[in-house]
Structure 1
């Protein structure tokens, strides 16, 4: 993440980008404090485990809870059509927009999420389109009230997750409904290997033009999970752009 960018403009873009004032403020805070917290890695991991302790049984496989696997290594009650391995060059024709936390997100009856419980949306296709949808949805879930369960189940475990959980647990809560502004309008698949992907997201900028950033996901234990950046942040640096060149537009 670009430190100077966030020192000068991070708080402005935090309010603009998808209204994720909780998540984006956390990103800036992580960026400013990781230097002092890096020497406390053990404490951070312990705090993370304590924060996640006592959660209910998992809806999808995750750490440190027991993995529940069905046939083919997929979670129980999760079956997707994984035959379409082509990178999307157009928005899925079957896309449906649903409200999650305070944001309208794209979903697909074939690529996922096929399970939309109250606390967590999961079960994405093991395809490029499934990765794209997971990159939109999981970060939004992390701005909601059930973020602890989402962090446990849908974020790749490790030091970055420990940092994210620890600092988010200490941050002041903000109501996403009061700060939602931007909306998803496009995406591009920066990379895809079958087991990992980086997805670029394009959202409207209320002051004009667009804002873009990227999210990485990894196929782990039968579903896509967010792979946080080394400092515990969800997104790469937010960039402003005047046009959507290079992005697949969602339309509608």
Structure 2
């Protein structure tokens, strides 16, 4: 089971597309169904001991459904957009792997929600084959010995960075397991994802693709949780958007999984005809 799901799984889809992160709709199925963020997690998960993760109580765990009154996407009115960007790492010097300033160490970070302009001062580094954003101010400010990045600013920008960095790290077989175990809120969803990964870990991915971030939209933000629509493109063929919920706990942002072990539960992915209404944010030149 992938961490993103689609209602079409119950219809007996034979292409295994329910395991992709940005699952597609209809005619563009083969374009968006990639392991995207977390495709075929079973290949990368392994058994591990319990981690000292924060736990989410029933009143803390947010839903990935867009709250009433928040902007929503009604879906494309035409054919999906065709990305043309080619990913390249930026030349901006990345923040140090461990820092005592910035990230979660900043006690008064900027609380402005990025709605038009992308965060500044960002460098992009490859996490395996995927570019992830790093910012001295927003984080990550800490990198563990096993390569997991953490310590993000308690701000909307910090939450965006935390979501994208986590998605990129789970995509990386070298750190994916550790990232899932230490950067996801403990609960039924995390347990379900790990259990499914354990059952299917010997099954190699049937589909692969080059996934790169293209942008985002902050759908809802409070100081305790945020919902971010993350946009990615697959091999410059189409844009796909999925909601990711992040929760502030124990001094950092952690991802929240639905009870079925996915990020989105029953919320269908959006196939975008353009990035209108989204903040363009990518490591492509």
Q: Report the TM-score, using the length of structure 1 for normalisation.
A: 0.72
Residue 105 (structure 2) pairs with residue 79 (structure 1): yes
Q: In the alignment, is residue 3 of structure 1 matched against residue 7 of structure 2?
A: yes
Matches within 5 A, 1:8-27: 8=13, 11=17, 14=20, 17=32, 19-20=34-35, 23-25=38-40
Q: Specify the SS of the correspondent of 1:164.
A: helix
Inter-partner Cα distance in structure 1 for 2:208 and 2:107 = 36
Match of residue 167, structure 2, among 135, 139, 142? 139
Is residue 234 of structure 2 the alignment partner of residue 243 of structure 1? no
Q: Where in structure 2 are there 5+ consecutive unaligned residues? A: 21-29, 56-98
- Compare relative contact order (CA 8 Å, sep 6+) and give the higher one, 1 or 2: 2
In the TM superposition, what whole-angstrom CA distance separates every residue of 1:210-241 from its partner, at most 9, and x where no partner exists? 11111111011111100012211134533211
Aligned residues: 214
Structure 1, unmatched stretches of 5+, are 28-47, 56-60, 65-75
For the 8 Å contact 1:11–1:25, the answer to whether it is kept is: no
Measure, in 2, the Cα distance between the counterparts of 1:126 and 1:181. Answer: 31
CA distance in 2: counterparts of 1:88 and 1:109, whole angstroms: 17
Q: Secondary structure at the match of 1:93?
A: coil
The structure where helix makes up a greater share of residues is 1
Match of 2:215 in 1: 186
2:87 alignment partner in structure 1: none
Q: In the alignment, is the contact (CA less than 8 A) between 2:37 and 2:211 conserved in 1?
A: no
TM-score (norm 2): 0.64
Query: 1:1-252, aligned counterparts within 5 Å?
Result: 1-4=5-8, 7-8=12-13, 11=17, 14=20, 17=32, 19-20=34-35, 23-25=38-40, 51-53=47-49, 62=53, 79-80=105-106, 82-89=108-115, 90-117=117-144, 118-143=146-171, 144-172=173-201, 179-206=208-235, 208-235=237-264, 236-250=267-281, 252=285
CA shift for structure 1 position 12: 8.5
